Amino acid sequence: MFNVLMVDDDEDDQYLIGSAFSEEDDFSMQFANDGHEGLAKLSDRVNLPDLVLLDLNMPKMGGFELLKHLQIMLSPHILPVIVLTTSNQNDDIQKAFELGATKYIIKPKSINVLGSIVENIRLFLKQDPQFRGFVYVPGNIARPK
């Protein structure tokens, strides 16, 4: 069973992505509406999720601040974090990788493309839990230098 924590304040995105992951019985989803809630769920280092999907733009505590806390708390090699956000700004992409993000995916406008992204995340999580080889959806995944 793979456990995925999605930290995102958009309830529609939570619903769509949660539904896409739930299509398979071996995935369970947890949700947090901002970085504070995400940090609380991650503070139990014994029951960490297998993957964190993280939005950058949230109230209270955003994604960058949560990534900073995770750098202190955990090694990014232990907990893969995929930034899934609407920002396509190079500064945001670079900062996310500098703060330990494993991958950066720009949220698509199409529900079908979002479904394809989730499908590929599921497949790669099963094959490569640390996401060392995750390179899919041309134009939607940015890579560090």
The pLDDT assigned to 5 comes to 94
The pLDDT assigned to 131 comes to 56
The pLDDT assigned to 128 comes to 67
**How far is Cα of residue 78 from the mean position of the Cα atoms in its chain?**
14
Closest C-alpha among 82, 15, 89 to residue 49: 82
β-partners of residue 53 are 6, 82
DSSP assignment letter at 108: P
Domain count, the chain: 1
| Burial state string for 26-45 with b = 16 or more CB within 10 A and e = fewer than 16 | ebebebbbbbbbbbebbeee
Residue type, 31: F
Structure tokens at 12: 């529609």
CATH assignment at residue 19: 3.40.50.2300
**How far is Cα of residue 71 from the mean position of the Cα atoms in its chain?**
15
**How far is Cα of residue 14 from the mean position of the Cα atoms in its chain?**
12
Structure tokens at 4: 């995925």
The pLDDT assigned to 138 comes to 35
The domain in which residue 133 lies consists of 2-142
The pLDDT assigned to 134 comes to 45
Distance CA 99, CA 18 (A): 25
Each residue's pLDDT, cut to its tens digit, for the chain (145 residues) gives: 888 999 999 999 999 999 888 887 788 899 999 999 999 998 876 778 889 999 999 989 999 999 999 888 876 557 889 999 999 899 999 999 999 898 899 988 888 888 888 888 888 777 766 555 444 333 444 444 3
